[in-house]
Amino acid sequence: MTGSLVLADPAPPRRPRIPRLLRQAAFRRYWSAQTVSLFGDQITVLAVPLLAVLAFGAGPAEMGYLTAAALLPNLFFSLPAGALVDRYPRRRQVMIIADVGRAGLLLTVPLLWWADVLNLPLLCAITFLIGVHSMFFEVAHISLFAALVRRADYVEANSLVNGSRAMSHVAGPSIGGVLVQVLTAPFALLSGVLTYLISAAFLARTQVTESPVPKGSGRGMAAGVRYVARSAVLRSTLLGTTTLNLFNYMFAALFVLYVTTELGVSPGLLGLIIGAGAVGGLLGAAVTGAISRRIGIGPAVLLGFVAFPAPMVLVPLATGPQPLVLALLFAAEFVSALGVMVLDIAVGSVQIAATPVAMLAVVSGFRRTVNYGIRPIGAVLGGTLGAAIGVRPALWFASLGALLGVLWVFFSPLRTMRALPTPGGGTG
């Protein structure tokens, strides 16, 4: 008996699946603008402090002033900026102006450096103005997001945006470090200028029908604060995230000091651990949609409130041989980064859904005011507590205290909420 072996044609290679939302031109351009802008932020966040240290010999106090200059606009101007943006019918235009403004301000740094007139106070002033533009960009993008994305797609869209955020945290500092090494800090900022201009170009090509501004009064700052105070969903998520941020920044103020001095981890190893752990954020962005569909959006919020802070306990728990210490630190960073993505995506989707479109910017501004306001308070309290009772006990206090944030949400309608809420308080 004879025969022949017939070989089947090889199966054609499978094309990578493009997320459905990215096949829509308007959302794809919005997402591209967000992604490029986030990478610009990460390059700037690294290059500006390095410029202050390397060029001006900035010490701890000067670095504190520089950091404060970037944060103060969020603390003092987010709420009035939100009220202004809600009254302006073209939020996309606000974002374009913010991008172009940031690019222009950032461009002045290498130009002033080349002219030999740049100094630390001037750098702080430029950083402050860049922070003002970034704050307007962030406040306005919530309203544009709601104009582009259907309610049913909020979680998927937030997963894509937060996935870009996670990727920027993984790759952005590395890219920024290489650029500083090759170009020097002042001229590395030119890459940041380019990212903001590219972001503005993507936004300029984004076709979107924005909601008209309703006539009448009652849409200002006070109205935004009242709305959050009266909404069980918005009130509980704001109190929960504020509590978590308070203890998280207490923890952050002591983390590097503890790991490098008491655990003996070198700065290089610590950087690798943080960078590798941030990959957990990419995983979190990928799985949050499936988690929220499986257990419901409310339980997903509760999960994020636990999964983000709980791994912090591994840091004060880390003792023994260095391989074990490094493994525990990596686990803490990886799982915490995964948890913060679940939290950010789920909470962000809930907050947008629970807010009337006409008040999205002012409500977002109020949230930023509270959450950014609590961060320096937490950092100061963390340093004070560490000096009073020791760094390790203070880390235990902060890591366990951060878990208290979940209580605000547990005793709220979110505990049993399966679908996204509506502005009126129901679900839909």
Kindly tell me if the per-residue pLDDT of 3 is higher than 50: no
Number of CB atoms found within 10 A of residue 22's CB:
13
Average pLDDT over residues 54-69: 72
DSSP string, 300-343: HHHHHHHHTTGGGGHHHH--SSHHHHHHHHHHHHHHHHHHHHHH
Cα atoms in the Cβ-side hemisphere of radius 13 Å centred on 143: 34
Distance CA 315, CA 331 (A): 9
The pLDDT assigned to 219 comes to 61
Predicted local confidence at residue 214, as pLDDT = 60
pLDDT of residue 7: 45
pLDDT for res 97: 95
> How confident is the model at residue 64, as a pLDDT?
65
- For residue 364, the model assigns a pLDDT of 86
Indicate if the pLDDT at residue 193 is higher than 50.
yes
**Distance separating alpha carbons of residues 384 and 219, to the nearest angstrom:** 40
Q: How many CB atoms lie within 10 A of CB 304?
A: 29
pLDDT band at 422 (very low <50, low <70, confident <90, very high): confident
Q: How many CA atoms lie within 13 Å of 70's alpha carbon, on the beta-carbon side?
A: 15
Share of the chain above pLDDT 90, in %: 36
Q: How far is CA 207 from the centre of its chain?
A: 25
Q: What is the pLDDT of residues 300-315, one digit of tens each?
A: 999 999 999 999 999 9
Question: pLDDT tens digit string along 228-267?
Answer: 999 999 999 999 999 999 999 888 878 878 887 888 887 6
Quickly state the pLDDT bin for 285 (edges 50, 70, 90). confident
Q: How far, in Å, CA of 13 to CA of 6, rounded?
A: 21
Residue 291 contacts residue 342 (beta carbons within 8 Å): yes
| Distance, CA of 136 to CA of 143 (rounded, Å) | 12
Work out the number of other CB atoms within 10 angstroms of the CB of residue 83: 21
Nearest to 233 by CA among 353, 345, 140, 151: 353
**For residue 109, pLDDT beyond 80:** yes
In this predicted structure, the answer to whether residue 8 has a pLDDT above a threshold of 50 is no
pLDDT tens, position by position, 112-151: 998 889 898 999 899 999 989 998 998 888 888 888 888 8
Closest CA to 415 of 285, 284, 290, 305: 305
Q: Where are the alpha helices (DSSP H) in 88-184?
A: 91-114, 120-148, 154-183
What is the mean predicted confidence (pLDDT) over 357-384? 85
Distances (CA, A) of 193 to 41, 115, 385: 10, 18, 40
Mean pLDDT across the chain? 84
Say which residue the tokens 């919020």 belong to: 301
Cα separation of 165 and 286, whole Å? 12
> Given a cut of 70, is residue 344 above it in pLDDT?
yes
Whether the pLDDT of residue 15 is over 70: the answer is no
Q: In 3-state terms, what secondary structure has residue 421?
A: strand
